[in-house]
Structure 1
Amino acid sequence: MKHLYLILRTLALPLALVAIFSQVVVAQTPERHTSLGLNYSALQYQGNFGSDYWKFSNSQYAPGVAINQYLTKGLDLNSQLFYTELKGQQSLTHPFTTTLINANLGLKFKLNNGWALKENARIQPYLLAASGWTYASQDGLPDSLGVPENRSYVDVMAGAGINFRLGSAVGFFVQSAQHMPLRANLDGNPEVSTPRWSDRFLQHTVGLTFSLGQAPDSDEDGVPDAKDKCPNTSPDIEVDERGCALDDDLDGVPNHQDQCPDQPGTAETHGCPDADNDGVDDTDDTCPDTPAGVAVDATGCPTTTTTDTTATATPPTETTDNDGDGVPNAEDRCPDHAGPATNQGCPEITAETRQRLQEATKRIGFELNKATLLPSSYATLDELAQLLGQYPDYSLSIAGHTDSRGPAAFNLRLSRERAAAARQYLLSKEVADTRVEMRGYGAAHPLATNTTEAGRTQNRRVEFDLFLTGDSNAAQVKYGVEPKLASAIPAKPKKAAPAKKSINKARKATLRKAPVSKAPARKTSVKKATPKAPAPKAPVRKAPAKSKPSPQRPVPAPAKRPGA
């Protein structure tokens, strides 16, 4: 009972300190960062009567507990408690036994700090330094009464260990540390005849750690906040492993808003296909092959009038030149930013900027066989977000490519998902979604041979190009139309989900955006298509240049294949 009382008294102070730090730290970090450890130690004595260091046959064994509290990426608060007996032989006739109760509080310096190793690495080395209190009851050199002497010491400890992460909440660790009581009387030999620091002991420990509590999940979608890339998703929306709404056809319109969830479409047509990109989905398009830049009505057919009768302001003169670049506003694609007439009055992209775009391709990386960006890519993407701020009249094209290993359908999906992941990161930096377009080309356009690892590494890439907003997508100009994902990948069975209500044409018409007049793409001449059937006049709407909108959210990680 006496020892139990001493254990509780010893543990009280470290527990109180950890509890205080827990309240402070948990309020500052979203993850669960408090863990409980159960361990078993081998203790080895060294002092006046010899040394048992690294002699496990002479070790004394002790159970213990530990509490660990996260402070920063590289630093934890750690408290330990153990109880044991040290034994040795003063002489053939005088053995000694020392009952030890030790409690300490210290700091753990972690190498999985985001610099040396990832914070969530499987193997997590660390250094440990602590100070605490030791109670010792010695049966040593007998005094005149033959009564054991009880002592309390300040104890300092230093060590190193490795934690092995077994899962999100469980770990296994090994640790070795040296304890040095500040008084040299562990073995009962009088201090007057003992040099300071002569009595010490090694502690070799193995144990398990268990994380406490649950990781916060603010939007209650089943994905912890620390891993949730879309933290404000409604709880009734199905999400992928990253917490973003499912988008099975990868068209940028999530399933719960997609009227055609199995066919890639556009946001303007509520996720339904629009082959001629005129803003009218194919099922309602009476004139499905309207050329780009031709104004169409609600049925997708060319209109016969483009006069805006609502304008009341006095039109500018032909010589008005807002930016003073010598290109009149009427002919200036960028009337508020000066540029040469050879670039339609828009600022030209400098050679330095083009070089930065090429370098960005080399610095973007992903996890193996996944569309998950590596943290090393973030700085490069941050630079691209700033670059778009310097070129407000331009949009950014992102093109994903893979090597040739694995099925073509898988590569096509993976290339598109990786381009979408880069796009989503840029959108998180407050870049307008209309200024970032993405394409995926699979292994169709290699830069080098796919027969060597060096060549395959070059071919696995995400390319970035700037192009004037309203022009054809730069990747599409370079590589052609993006392959159709739906035709490349067979339909997969889906888990049961609430049936979607059918939406008739009248309902779809009400959901459609109000007609908006858009600037046509640059063309030398436009040939109007002949309507298939007469249609009533409707408000004027102009089709954008033929470039598909890009996904606006990250997409589910694909199945694994060798070395993507």
Structure 2
Amino acid sequence: MKHLNRLLLASLCILSFSTMQAQDDNNPWAIGIGVNAVDFYPTGEDAPLGGYFDEFFNTGDHWNVLAGISRISVARNIGAGFYFEAAGSVNQIGKYGDEGWDDLMYYGLDGTFNYSFRNDANAGWLDPIVGVGGGYTWIDEEGFATLDGTVGFNFWFTDNLALSVQTIYKHGFDDDMNSHFQHAAGIKFAFGGQDTDGDGIYDKDDECPEVAGLEQFNGCPDSDGDGIQDRLDECPNEAGLAQFNGCPDTDGDGIADPQDECPTVAGLAALNGCPDADGDGVKDSEDECPNEAGPKENNGCPWEDMDNDGVLDKDDECPEVAGTAANNGCPEPTVEVIEELNEYSRTILFDLDKATIRSESEETLQAIADIMKEYPNTIFHIGGHTDSTGSESYNEKLSRERAQSVETFLENTGIPSSRLTSEGYGESQPIASNSTAKGRQENRRVEISLDKEKEMRDNQGGM
């Protein structure tokens, strides 16, 4: 019997050690300690006739109870409400039916598959159970196998601690039919749930099982400590306000920093959080006159157009002289002016078959230069022409050199080279017949026009 007792204790130790090693499993474990009572009435040998539950609660006459802890159990949750429970018990039998016996030692090892009607650990405190299994029982030196059926209740005080009561009917398979009831009561402690992120909240209850969090947020984190869990916080690393979904409002203007284009300076919602000191509807960062109200078209500065030509002074290259927008506020020569220039240019004389300007034409060229200076933004084009006398290539060369001579003279009077272009067209653009001396004389000329193409290119290049 001593050997059997040691075997029982060793078995219980192994089971207990196994549970400690399994605390990281997903399904929780439970260990129970308590007392048991064995009742051989009315199912034992020579027991009186009657049903199985006759005098079921006659504890004084039929129940065998051993003082102290007499039953230890270990259980593991399988899932879907099922769990397996292994139990070891010890007792002392002095009552067998209506007979009194010398105290006989009772040992039991049992394993049952139980079903809990409290499927969810948070479903309530009352937990009815039923189960079926088998075991082996020893009475002194005699042992026999049993088929076990269990009914009982767990009363959960917390998710981990419960009062457990149950009755097990053990049907014996020996010739003596040592079938009996065993009643048990004790404390059950559940443990061993998995906590992947180590935040003290089991994965089954943790809404963020892979990231350490807080109990108040069901295991989810609040990195910036603003009381808004990260998964609902649009600014999880910056403490903010609930009204802004966890984002801060540094300048206190009622606009959250992510939507505030000026987050450190209080501003207006209409300007995405930026200030407008002069109230002209242009935010200060884009207002060239932040303390002086002006229209947006003028970048926040007041309108100024001294020459009243419709071009603001800030954009007007000739602010004191009325001009055109196309010429950046500067005046453009009219058709009459161009005609006047050409009347002068037709009187320019060159040495015979040369590009050298005769001295008597210098006064004419100076008059042309004076007119050009009245239009400082205008680009003038000088075109050289000849009659048809001589070869075409010679005439083209001579006309180009004469046009360049006029351009050089005008530059020497102070006209910027950027405002002058020249080209020779030879005999290709006659204005009179080359068959008469008078016509050939008219064709030998210099013409001045506006170079709009170069002016447009220059304006585009400067944009």
TM-score, with normalisation over the residues of structure 1?
Answer: 0.40
Determine which structure has greater relative contact order: mean sequence separation of CA pairs < 8 Å that are 6+ residues apart, divided by chain length: 1
